[in-house]
Amino acid sequence: MSFHILNCPPVVGYSSKTRTQCRTRPNPSLAVHMSSTLVQTDENGDHYESKKISSSCSAQLKSQPQSSLLSQANTVGIIGGVSVLSTLIFLEKLVWWSSRNGEECVPFVVCSDPGLDGGGHSFHPSFSEIAENVMVQNLKQKRVFLEKSGARCIVMPCHISNAWYAEISESCTLPFFHIGECVARELKEAKLKPLDAGSNVRIGVLAACETAVVPYVEKLQNQEFEVVLPDKATVEHILMPAIESLNQRDVEGARNLLRIAIQVLLIKAVNVVILASEELQNVLPREDPLLKKCMDPMDALARTTIKWAKSAKKT
């Protein structure tokens, strides 16, 4: 059974605790309120039962057509992917950044299926063809549910799920933002210069599995970037042990290993290192100088989504 979050304006913020860390906010004194409805769906993505959590949405829901939960022109539909943590990280950015200047929070519907979560970790050594087909169909049903719920654009804040973006977005008539494309566009607009004369700008990608790299390679290459990935030895002896250290609550060990993994790519003259794994986020302290060379793809996806939502609200 899947659970979904419906966000009805006005909402000024969102507070959450992940399974691994609590993320601190720039202004902890800001009052945070959540107005939402849990919606259960059948295997076809049709919502058949709703449980009211906050009365602030009840009147608005009753006035909506039964085929749609929200009618705002800038409603964002969010497909939760393999890791619930990625969804939470994206939601925090979306809600906080869209409302930090006193503006109304972007309305959104979240569709997250715990059945897709591989134990809370993004490391999946491989996916069989059957497993891929099941996952793609599952995610496609979530997309259809969001469309029926009144979403006017779709986002999928998951590094792994975006590997099947083409299949999941097939026949979708709404704007559907690809996380790799958002990253590539921002890097292109940054007008980076090659660190090695006579070569293209190089972008490094660190991920916990090969599948999570897929969404970024093609999109970056389309923008004429050269993609640099860690070699097999770095993945096996540095990157994966870093994630294992996190699982064992050895934060200091994970930090040291991650620093080495980043340095391995920087030695290869990359301008930016994309951290395409939610486990790797917030490992390094905020003041660590290496973070200036790193990029969180969720930042680019959130900025693109908020820009679209503000534009759609004015039309």
pLDDT for 254-313, tens place per residue?
999 999 999 999 999 999 999 999 889 889 999 999 999 999 999 999 999 999 999 998
Note the pLDDT tens digit of each residue in 86-134: 899 999 999 999 998 888 899 999 998 766 654 333 344 455 666 788 8
- Tens digits of residue pLDDT in 100-110: 888 889 999 99
Residues paired with 153 in a beta bridge: 76
Average pLDDT over residues 154-167: 95
Query: pLDDT grade, residue 161 (50/70/90)?
Result: very high
Global pTM value:
0.78
- Of residues 208 and 239, more confidently modeled: 239
Does residue 268 contact residue 151 with C-beta atoms inside 8 Å?
no
Please tell me the distance from the alpha carbon of residue 28 to that of residue 34, in angstroms, as a whole number: 16
- Can you say whether residue 269 is alpha, beta or left, with left for phi > 0 and alpha for psi between -120 and 50 degrees? left
E strands, 67-195, are: 76-79, 108-112, 153-155, 176-177
Average pLDDT rounded to a whole number, residues 48-56: 39
Single out the residue of 297, 142, 271 nearest to residue 216, CA to CA.
297
Q: Whose CA is closest to 274, among 204, 221, 214?
A: 204
First to last CA, the chain: 36
Identify the weakest region by mean pLDDT among 17-26, 46-55, 203-212, 224-233. Answer: 17-26
